C-alpha cells in the first residue's frame, strides 16, 4: 500500500518544538485537527451561529439544520438504524455516565452483576463503581490473558445469567488490544445482559458498525478523531433509551412545563438538556467527512504499517519492555529498562517528539502490568515513517543519556 500523506492538512504539525520539527505521537490522548475542521467551526460562528430549536428566524433554522445534519452524519458513520439513537454528549465520559445513571436506575437490582474488564479506562470503571454502591449490584471482571487479551473461556465464565450489563472497551488505550465485541454481545444477549461499548479508541481508527456489533450502547469522543473537544456521542438502541429517564433537566429538552411538573421531548432531545454543543457537532461532522474522504480502511492500514515498523525497530533496541498483544491497534506502550517513563518522555520532548507518560487513566491495569507508569507512543493518519524514525532516534538518545547514569 502507499502510505497516507496528509500531514500538510494539519496546521499544528508544521511547527517546531524545542528547535525540532514536531513529531506528535500522542493521538490516543487527543488527535490534532485538520484545517477543514477548523474552517467548519469558524464558518459556523461567522455565518450561521444561533440557538437551535428556538424561534423562527433564518439563522436559528440554519443552526438547527447544521446541528441535526451532524446527527445524521454520525448516524450514517456508525450505521445506527435511527438518528434519534444518536445523543450528543461532552465526550465518552459523559456518555457512559448517562447510561450508568439512567439505565441502572431503571434496570439494575441489588445482587445483579455488572461485568467489566481490568483494562477499562477510569471513565468506564468509576461510573460502575458508583452504580454498584448505589444499587447493591456486584462488579465482576473478566480476567486477562498474559498478553492482555480476553479469552472466550474467561468471557463465558464471567458473564452468567446473573449479569445484567457488560461494559467493555472496544480498544484498550494502553495495550492496544482489540476486543471481540461481536462475540461478547452475542453471548451476553444469550445470558440476558445488555452491552455498553467504550469506543473512544476504536472509532477514530477503524470502521465501526453498531448494528453489526449488535451492542446496546456505544460511546465515543470527537476530539480523538480529529474533531473538537467538548463533543462526543452516545449511541443507544431506542428500545432502551425510550425507557430511560433524562439525567439532566432544564431548557431545550422539555415538552410542556408547569410550575410543579413537566414532560419532556422524545429521543434524542430528552438527553440533551440546555443549549447543545452546536459548534462541536458541526466540527465533528467535518471530522467525519474528512476521515471518510480518506477512508477508514486506509487509515487502519496506514497505522498498522507504522505500528509494525515501530515494533520492528523497537525490538532491535536492548532493554525495551513492550506491553500488550501482537495483534493490536496503532499504539505502543513501553518502558526503557532503568529509565522512568517521565524521563523518557522529557528526553523525547527535548527532540520535539511528543509521547505520553503516566498511568493513562488505567491505574488498575498498571497494577496488573506490575508497573507504576509507562510511556506510550500512539499513531494516527498524519504520522509517517520518518516520525517513527525520529521516535526511535530519541529513544536511543534517552538510553544513552541515562545509560551513563547506571
Partner 1 sequence: MSFNNLDTLYRQVIMDHYKNPRNKGTLNEGLTLEMNNPTCGDRIQLHFIIEGEVVIDAKFEGEGCSISLASASMMTQVVKGKSVEEALKLSQYFSNMMLGKETDSDDLELGDIEALQGVQKFPARIKCATLAWKAMEKAIDQEDEM
> How far is 338 from 264, CA to CA, in rounded Å?
58
Q: Which does 347 bind (CB under 5 to 8 A by kind): ligand PLP, partner 1, none?
A: partner 1
Q: In terms of CB distance, is 18 or 211 closer to partner 1? A: 18
> How far is 393 from 282, CA to CA, in rounded Å?
39
Q: Kindly state the smallest distance separating residue 88's Cβ from ligand PLP, in Å.
A: 13
Q: Which does 405 bind (CB under 5 to 8 A by kind): ligand PLP, partner 1, none?
A: partner 1
- Contact criterion met (CB below 8 Å) for 381 and 205: no
- Rule CB under 8 A: choose which of 69, 363, 384, 389 binds partner 1: 363
Q: Kindly state the smallest distance separating residue 289's Cβ from partner 1, in Å.
A: 35
Q: How far is CA 318 from CA 150, 315, 333, 372, 402, in A?
A: 29, 7, 16, 21, 13
323 near partner 1, judged by CB under 8 A: no
- Rule CB under 8 A: choose which of 373, 375, 377, 381 binds partner 1: 373
Q: Within the chain, how many helices (H) and strands (E) appear?
A: 13, 17
Q: Which does 211 bind (CB under 5 to 8 A by kind): ligand PLP, partner 1, none?
A: none
3-state secondary structure string across 216-279: CEEEEECHHHCCCCCCEEEEECHHHHCCCCCCCCCCCCEEEECCCCEEECCCCHHHCCCCCCHH
- Contact criterion met (CB below 8 Å) for 94 and 66: no
Q: Which does 200 bind (CB under 5 to 8 A by kind): partner 1, ligand PLP, none?
A: ligand PLP
Q: Kindly state the smallest distance separating residue 123's Cβ from ligand PLP, in Å.
A: 4
336 near partner 1, judged by CB under 8 A: no
126 near partner 1, judged by CB under 8 A: no
Q: At what angle do helices 278-294 and 296-315 cross, to 10 degrees?
A: 80
- Range 93-125 burial, b when 16+ CB lie within 10 A, else e: bbbbbbbbbbbbeeebeeebbbbbbbbbbbbbb
Q: Kindly state the smallest distance separating residue 223's Cβ from ligand PLP, in Å.
A: 6
Residues in 8-27 that interact with partner 1 by CB under 8 A: 18
User: What count of other Cβ atoms lies within 10 Å of the Cβ of residue 230?
Assistant: 17
238 near partner 1, judged by CB under 8 A: no
Looking at residue 45, the DSSP 8-state letter turns out to be I
> How far is 61 from 53, CA to CA, in rounded Å?
8
Q: In terms of CB distance, is 225 or 395 closer to ligand PLP? A: 225
- Residue of 215, 329, 361, 362 marked catalytic: 361
Q: Which does 76 bind (CB under 5 to 8 A by kind): partner 1, ligand PLP, none?
A: none
Q: How far is CA 125 from CA 128, 134, 144, in A?
A: 5, 14, 16
Q: Is 226 among the catalytic positions?
A: no
51 near partner 1, judged by CB under 8 A: no
Q: Kindly state the smallest distance separating residue 122's Cβ from ligand PLP, in Å.
A: 8
> How far is 177 from 320, CA to CA, in rounded Å?
19
- Rule CB under 8 A: choose which of 22, 29, 50, 366 binds partner 1: 366
> How far is 299 from 27, CA to CA, in rounded Å?
13
Q: Kindly state the smallest distance separating residue 20's Cβ from partner 1, in Å.
A: 9
30 near partner 1, judged by CB under 8 A: no
Interface contacts to ligand PLP, rule CB under 6 A? 91-93, 121, 123-124, 169, 173, 198, 200-201, 221, 361
Q: Pairing relation of β-strands 254-257 and 262-264?
A: antiparallel
- Rule CB under 8 A: choose which of 155, 171, 347, 355 binds partner 1: 347
Catalytic residue numbers read: 361
Q: Which residues bind partner 1 (CB under 8 A)?
A: 18, 340-343, 346-347, 349-351, 357-359, 363, 366, 372-373, 397, 401-402, 405-406
Amino acid at each position: 500500500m502507499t502510505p497516507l500523506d496528509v500531514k500538510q492538512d494539519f496546521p499544528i504539525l508544521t511547527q517546531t518544538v524545542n528547535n525540532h520539527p514536531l513529531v506528535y505521537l500522542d493521538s490516543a490522548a487527543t488527535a490534532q485537527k485538520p484545517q477543514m475542521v477548523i474552517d467548519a467551526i469558524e464558518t459556523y460562528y461567522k455565518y450561521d451561529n444561533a440557538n437551535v430549536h428556538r424561534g423562527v428566524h433564518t439563522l436559528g433554522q440554519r443552526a438547527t439544520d447544521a446541528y441535526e445534519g451532524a446527527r445524521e452524519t454520525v448516524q450514517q458513520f456508525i450505521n445506527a438504524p435511527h438518528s434519534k439513537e444518536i445523543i450528543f454528549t461532552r465526550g465518552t465520559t459523559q456518555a457512559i455516565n448517562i447510561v450508568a445513571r439512567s439505565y441502572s436506575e431503571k434496570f439494575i437490582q441489588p445482587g445483579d452483576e455488572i461485568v467489566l474488564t481490568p483494562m477499562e479506562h477510569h471513565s468506564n470503571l468509576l461510573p460502575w463503581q458508583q452504580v454498584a454502591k448505589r444499587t447493591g449490584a456486584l462488579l465482576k471482571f473478566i480476567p486477562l490473558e498474559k498478553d492482555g487479551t480476553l479469552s472466550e473461556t474467561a468471557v463465558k465464565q464471567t458473564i452468567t445469567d446473573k449479569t445484567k450489563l457488560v461494559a467493555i472497551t472496544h480498544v484498550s488505550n494502553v495495550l492496544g488490544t482489540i476486543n471481540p465485541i461481536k462475540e461478547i454481545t452475542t453471548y451476553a444477549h444469550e445470558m440476558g445482559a445488555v452491552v455498553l461499548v467504550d469506543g473512544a479508541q476504536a472509532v477514530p481508527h477503524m470502521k465501526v458498525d453498531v448494528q453489526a456489533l449488535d451492542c446496546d450502547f456505544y460511546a465515543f469522543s470527537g476530539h480523538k478523531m480529529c474533531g473538537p473537544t467538548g463533543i462526543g456521542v452516545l449511541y443507544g438502541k431506542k428500545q432502551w433509551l425510550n425507557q430511560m429517564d433524562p439525567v439532566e433537566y432544564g431548557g431545550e429538552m422539555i415538552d410542556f412545563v408547569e410550575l410543579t411538573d413537566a414532560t419532556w421531548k422524545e429521543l434524542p432531545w430528552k438527553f440533551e438538556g440546555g443549549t447543545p454543543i452546536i459548534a462541536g457537532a458541526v466540527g465533528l461532522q467535518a471530522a467525519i467527512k474528512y476521515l471518510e474522504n480518506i477512508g477508514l480502511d486506509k487509515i487502519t492500514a496506514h497505522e498498522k504499517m507504522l505500528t509494525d515498523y515501530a515494533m520492528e525497530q523497537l525490538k532491535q533496541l536492548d532493554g525495551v519492555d513492550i506491553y500488550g498483544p501482537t495483534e493490536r491497534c496503532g499504539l505502543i506502550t513501553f518502558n526503557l529498562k532503568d529509565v522512568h517513563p517521565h524521563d523518557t518522555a522529557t528526553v523525547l520532548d527535548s527532540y520535539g517528539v511528543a509521547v505520553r507518560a503516566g498511568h493513562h487513566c488505567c491505574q488498575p491495569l498498571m497494577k496488573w502490568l506490575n508497573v507504576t507508569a509507562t510511556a506510550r507512543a500512539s499513531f494516527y493518519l498524519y504520522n509517517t515513517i520518518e516520525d517513527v524514525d525520529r521516535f526511535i532516534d530519541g529513544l536511543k538518545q534517552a538510553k544513552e543519556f541515562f545509560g551513563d547514569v547506571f
